[in-house]
């Protein structure tokens, strides 16, 4: 069932667990997330970056594929189709294309411009029953070998953006996209606590879910995180399983080159990673 992310996240915040956002890249990825969520009776969010949207032939193709797959696989758990780190134009395009949730990442604008654009997109998305995530502070990450630590969000700015009526709020708390460097100092729980004190019932979003140790994930959930984004970890498990299949020469045996066989170990690996995350996040049987 395709739904906005609002209700599932409000329930998660009240119930002290988190819903996973798993980014999708193609049909196999989408099927892996949907089937695992159904099997575990868990709500789920499919994340689509603008790059992945382009790769999959546009947002409309993605929305139509997801809707059709929910129907043909008889998926009854709540599923949100969410734009990840959307630009202003990308957010508008996804609202038109049939997404049920969007993220507008205005964190690189001045706080005034972030507020102005977020306010407009809150009105546009809510008019169509679509949920919206905003971001304050930046999520670090690696680009061309340079690791940025990200900018820790200011609790007062978080409150200003939360008050615009967004449904979920991403706040930079020392989290990073991709693998964490050896010398990563960990999440800033002091900042997270200050943010949750100011924003009350607002579900908070933790980006960069790949590689955060289980105890830090649990602590973050106890401090108000209700949505956790995971992307790289599924890519790594897919790649490792596919590499193993090829290295063992399985593609050279019989019809092992058939893409439905070649991609199967990677598919199973994505399912296993998602299952592990849903169990850790506490969303199993919360559909
Ligand atoms: P990772 O790739 O580090 O899991 O981050 C995912 C994410 O935050 C997507 O917005």
DSSP state for residue 2 in the 8-state scheme: B
Confidence of residue 124 (pLDDT cuts 50, 70, 90): very high
Rg (CA), the chain: 18
The residues that bridge with 80 in the sheet, in sequence order, are 45
Residues with Cβ within 8 Å of residue 232, at least 6 apart in sequence: 177, 178, 179, 210, 211
Contacts (Cβ under 8 Å, ≥6 apart) of 242 = 262, 263, 265, 266
In the block, residue with structure tokens 């809150």: 122
In a domain, 287, yes or no: no
* Residues 175-191: tens digit of each pLDDT: 999 988 888 889 999 99
Angle (CA) 148 277 192, round 5° = 50
**Percent share of the chain, pLDDT over 70:** 97
Q: How far is the CA of 235 from the centre of ligand 1 (A)?
A: 11
From 207, 233, 234, the mutation candidate for ligand 1 (largest count of ligand atoms within 8 A of CB) is 207
Condensed to tens digits (0 to 9), the pLDDT of residues 155-172 reads 999 999 999 999 999 999
Q: Is residue 1 part of a domain?
A: no
Spatial neighbors of 264 by CB under 8 A, at least 6 apart, are none
Using DSSP's 3-state secondary structure scheme, residue 228 falls into: strand
- At 78 the pLDDT is 98
Q: Is the residue at 236 inside a domain? A: yes
Q: Which atom of ligand 1 is nearest to the CA of 210?
A: 4
Q: Which atom of ligand 1 is nearest the CA belonging to 230? A: 4
Asked if 227 and 21 count as a contact pair (C-beta separation under 8 A), the reply is yes
Tally of domains in the chain: 1
- Rounded distance from Cα 22 to ligand 1 centre (Å): 8
pLDDT digit string (tens) for 207-241?
Answer: 999 999 999 999 999 999 999 999 999 999 999 99
In this prediction, residue 183 carries a pLDDT of: 87
| Residues in the ligand 1 pocket, defined by CB under 6 Å | 23, 47, 84-85, 177-178, 207-210, 229-233
pTM: 0.96
Q: By three-state DSSP, how is residue 214 classified?
A: helix
- CA–CA gap between residue 71 and residue 203 (Å, rounded): 29
Q: How far apart are CA 2 and CA 74, in angstroms?
A: 12
Distance CA 202, CA 224 (A): 8
Residue 224 three-state SS = coil
The verdict on whether 10 is a catalytic residue reads: no
Q: Residue 152: which CATH number? A: 3.20.20.70
Distance CA 10, CA 148 (A): 31
Range of the structural domain that residue 65 is part of:
6-281
Q: Is 144's pLDDT higher than 70?
A: no
Cα(131)–Cα(233) distance, integer angstroms: 26
- What integer pLDDT is reported at residue 137 of this predicted model? 83
d(CA 158, CA 173): 12
Specify the pLDDT at position 147: 56
């Amino acid at each position: 069932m395709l739904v906005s992310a609002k209700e599932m996240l409000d329930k998660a915040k009240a119930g002290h667990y988190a819903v996973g956002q798993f980014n999708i890249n193609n049909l196999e990825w989408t099927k892996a997330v949907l089937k695992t969520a159904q099997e575990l009776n868990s709500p789920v969010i499919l994340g689509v970056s603008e790059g992945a949207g382009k790769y999959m032939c546009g947002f409309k193709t993605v929305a139509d594929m997801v809707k059709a797959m929910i129907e043909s696989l008889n998926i009854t758990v709540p599923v949100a189709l969410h734009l990840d780190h959307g630009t202003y134009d990308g957010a508008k395009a996804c609202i038109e294309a049939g997404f049920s949730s969007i993220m507008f990442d205005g964190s690189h604008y001045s706080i005034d411009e972030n507020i102005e654009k977020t306010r407009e997109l809150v009105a546009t998305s809510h008019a169509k029953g679509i949920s919206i995530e905003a971001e304050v502070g930046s999520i670090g990450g690696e680009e061309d070998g340079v690791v940025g630590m990200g900018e820790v969000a200011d609790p007062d700015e978080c409150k200003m953006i939360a008050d615009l009526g967004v449904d979920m709020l991403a706040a930079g708390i020392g989290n990073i996209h991709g693998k964490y460097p050896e010398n990563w100092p960990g999440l800033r729980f002091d900042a997270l606590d200050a943010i949750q004190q100011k924003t009350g019932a607002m579900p908070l979003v933790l980006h960069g879910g790949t590689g955060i140790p289980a105890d830090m994930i649990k602590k973050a959930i106890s401090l108000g995180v209700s949505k956790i984004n995971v992307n790289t970890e599924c890519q790594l498990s897919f790649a490792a399983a596919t590499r193993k299949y090829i290295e063992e020469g399985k593609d050279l045996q019989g019809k092992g080159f058939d893409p439905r066989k070649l991609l199967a170990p990677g598919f199973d690996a994505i399912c296993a990673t998602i299952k592990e995350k849903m169990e850790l996040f506490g969303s199993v049987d919360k559909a």
